[in-house]
Chain A
């Protein structure tokens, strides 16, 4: 536990993304199996020990500490697990120095126990650890490390540790399970890459560059609408189906209606949308989709009120044939042949825009009034489907250029009616050194439902308090709309937004893919 506790502790005090990557990579290289795998599972949030919940930790505290002293301490420290770890009375004679519990021993013991016996087992383990070890144990046992590491960052660290391609890591990830022995064996060159075949595994998405100043020739590029939902990948293999988001998160549980309806073998790429009444059954705005996002279970009413469907863009695997290397035109033809066999209520195809010239496309784009249209995609007709963002192949041309994806950094309670909820958000974008700098503050643009969700996020992801202000885990991406952006000496980022408001909550987007300060600087007027 010592190395793991040290890792957790240092991650807490490290702000830069590169240093975090280096810390995790070092740990993964130096720690033996299966400990490193369990640690990785803890960092990526894939460790779920059903026996220990925060109520068990609370029960352990109630049994040992004077209630008033515990409450005063908890109020001061701000975190139950940390308070318990710090208050813990070490056994007489101290913690035996040579007795280092392994992470896997701890996990085995906790996985084998029952909820009723968990507090006692946990207490026994606490007696064998120092203060940092106790903190790491309680965080490990109850899930929720909150050390500012996203699943994507942890996977990037795996790639960095063993000089692998992060997209290759993503691909095999969902085919593996903790403690990922095959992953490390591959990383260390002892075995070939684990073969995810036969499991509905994730393939990294192909992404687009913003068009900005670039002009393309429509003889070489096809234009299609970019829809305002979330990008998803649907994977069907031998009757099992998975839905993945951009970051490779498995979101099948939130959209069982889609998974059940996908009766095909293959992998397709599309936009997940919900049907709205507004346009006669067409796609509703992103706000409606929010109702369905991030839910672990979906009620029948929700399925009925916000029926989901997928508008398909591309096909990666048809049957068991990998078609990613084929040119886009060829894949498009296959997609057009593939879609009619699917449930028509749940799947359709994203229409191409018949534009002869770039100017004509610009006019069509300006005229688009559909709430679910986000802009236009331009895809090189001969482009293969390649993971990541490859220059010159795909471009996105957003309808409203004054939009930025930002990461929530701080939150504050509102005033008046909103004085009990965290409704004022400070958000930031990335610098060249991968640090977040605040670029603005917004307190409007969201529905009451969304506000509830954001408030909950702030409370559950606070890493720091400065008087009334809470600093949050940098994982929540907010799409911010603004009227204009200007140079400003008052802000460290050198930028000030005019009338910023939250236009969407991008729970589907990993924080490290939020916009960069440099991108915003180009929008300055």
Chain B
């Protein structure tokens, strides 16, 4: 049965009619399928939740989700009722992130959630899942977004540290995913010094470690003397970059790890001195490459700069439509 007969996109989520379940609903629902732990996809207050074990742990930390969680290890199929079989596949976005494959009456539909194609030391890589309808994100859905090599960006960070022995390098990074990724990338680049954290990042880093992601030596900024942080790398949530908190740091070089840093104006708006283009979302080339790899019959675009991606599809005679989804902030990168 064609997807439009059993999948309904709503501004508040994607409704899967035969099994009465919602994907990434932004309001509480009795049955929710959650792609990953970011707040614009995972909310508290649902009845039953289906998500990967890692995502359930993250939701547990954030919303106290417990007994209502149904663990969905990658690749395992579950019958949701109404003739709908669901399985979760790595999306490469953050730890636990998944694409959801729904099979119903001979039709295969993949909801990517947020995803990226390049390597990430903190989560398994994206898998191409063949399907009839691909429901994709488009956060960086403009051809100006081409994320450079991650290693080059990490090298810039290490160069800035070496060039400023009397200052610290303060990196703004989202608490879930980006912060741990930056740490992991630094470790892969051979940096094994202690990395200092804003208090708001601590719990998530600990959870990552419990879930088997080794982050090396970490310590809290709050426990250090100002002068001891000279020449150190400090991570904080983006909101803390320009607030009072940063005054406890020794003359910080303000950096920000985000795909938005590709555009100068966005970096300047954040008062960033050292923009690092490190993204957990697919860039333009990855978005279009994925559409070509998956080769679906139809493409639905959930959130981001969907018009450009839809236009790109239509130039290639691919059937595509933009879904108007609300509350999907593009700031989680």
Closest to A70 in B: B143
Question: Contacts A13-B273, A464-B265: A76 and B305 contacting too (C-beta < 8 A)?
Answer: yes
Min distance, Cβ A438 to any Cβ of chain B, angstroms: 15
Contact sample, A vs B, 22 pairs, CB 8 Å cutoff: A12-B268, A13-B267, A13-B272, A66-B315, A69-B143, A69-B308, A72-B142, A72-B307, A73-B144, A76-B305, A79-B264, A82-B263, A86-B143, A86-B144, A86-B262, A86-B263, A131-B146, A131-B148, A464-B265, A464-B268, A465-B265, A466-B269
Q: Which of B267, B268, B307 has the largest number of chain A CB atoms within 10 A? A: B268
Q: Which residues of A contact B267 (CB under 8 A)?
A: 13
Q: Which residues of B contact A131 (CB under 8 A)?
A: 146, 148
Question: Contacts A69-B308, A72-B305: A77 and B144 contacting too (C-beta < 8 A)?
Answer: yes
Per-residue CB contact flags for chain A residues 37-78 toward chain B (1 = under 8 Å, else 0) read 000000000000000000000000000011011001100111
**Residue A463 lies at the interface, judged by CB distance under 8 Å to chain B:** yes
Q: Which residues of B contact A79 (CB under 8 A)?
A: 264-265
**Residue B13 lies at the interface, judged by CB distance under 8 Å to chain A:** no
Is there an interface contact between A87 and B264, defined as CB atoms closer than 8 Å?
no
Q: Which residues of B contact A245 (CB under 8 A)?
A: none
- Give Cα distance in the complex from A77 to B307, angstroms: 16
Closest to A465 in B: B265
Min distance, Cβ B226 to any Cβ of chain A, angstroms: 19
Is there an interface contact between A72 and B268, defined as CB atoms closer than 8 Å?
no
Is there an interface contact between A76 and B269, defined as CB atoms closer than 8 Å?
no
- Give Cα distance in the complex from A78 to B142, angstroms: 13
Q: Which residues of A contact B275 (CB under 8 A)?
A: 13
Q: Which residues of B contact A66 (CB under 8 A)?
A: 311, 315
Question: Contacts A82-B263, A83-B144: A69 and B268 contacting too (C-beta < 8 A)?
Answer: no
Contact of B143 among A82, A87, A465 (CB under 8 A): A87
**Residue A114 lies at the interface, judged by CB distance under 8 Å to chain B:** no
What is the total number of residues of chain A having a CB less than 8 Å from a CB of chain B? 23
A residues 77-104 near B (Cβ < 8 Å) are 77-79, 82-83, 86-87
Q: Which residues of B contact A73 (CB under 8 A)?
A: 142-144, 308
Interface SS majority for chain A: helix
**Residue A444 lies at the interface, judged by CB distance under 8 Å to chain B:** no
Q: Which residues of B contact A65 (CB under 8 A)?
A: 143
- Give Cα distance in the complex from A516 to B146, angstroms: 43
Q: Which residues of B contact A463 (CB under 8 A)?
A: 265, 268
Min distance, Cβ B85 to any Cβ of chain A, angstroms: 37
Min distance, Cβ B308 to any Cβ of chain A, angstroms: 5
Is there an interface contact between B312 and A69, defined as CB atoms closer than 8 Å?
yes
- Give Cα distance in the complex from A83 to B142, angstroms: 10
**Residue A14 lies at the interface, judged by CB distance under 8 Å to chain B:** yes
Residue numbers of B with Cβ under 8 A of A are 142-146, 148, 262-265, 267-269, 271-275, 305, 307-308, 311-312, 315
- Give Cα distance in the complex from A465 to B61, angstroms: 37
- Give Cα distance in the complex from A65 to B146, angstroms: 15
Contact of A13 among B142, B268, B311 (CB under 8 A): B268
- Give Cα distance in the complex from A308 to B306, angstroms: 58
**Additional 15 contacts, C-beta under 8 A, given A72-B305, A73-B143:** A13-B272, A13-B274, A14-B273, A15-B271, A68-B311, A69-B142, A72-B307, A72-B308, A73-B308, A76-B144, A77-B144, A77-B263, A82-B263, A86-B262, A87-B143
Q: Which residues of A contact B263 (CB under 8 A)?
A: 76-77, 82, 86
Closest to A14 in B: B273
Q: Which residues of A contact B305 (CB under 8 A)?
A: 72, 76
Per-residue CB contact flags for chain A residues 439-463 toward chain B (1 = under 8 Å, else 0) read 0000000000000000000000001
Report the 5 A-B pairs with minimum CB-CB distance, sorted nearest first. A86-B144, A73-B144, A87-B143, A73-B142, A72-B308
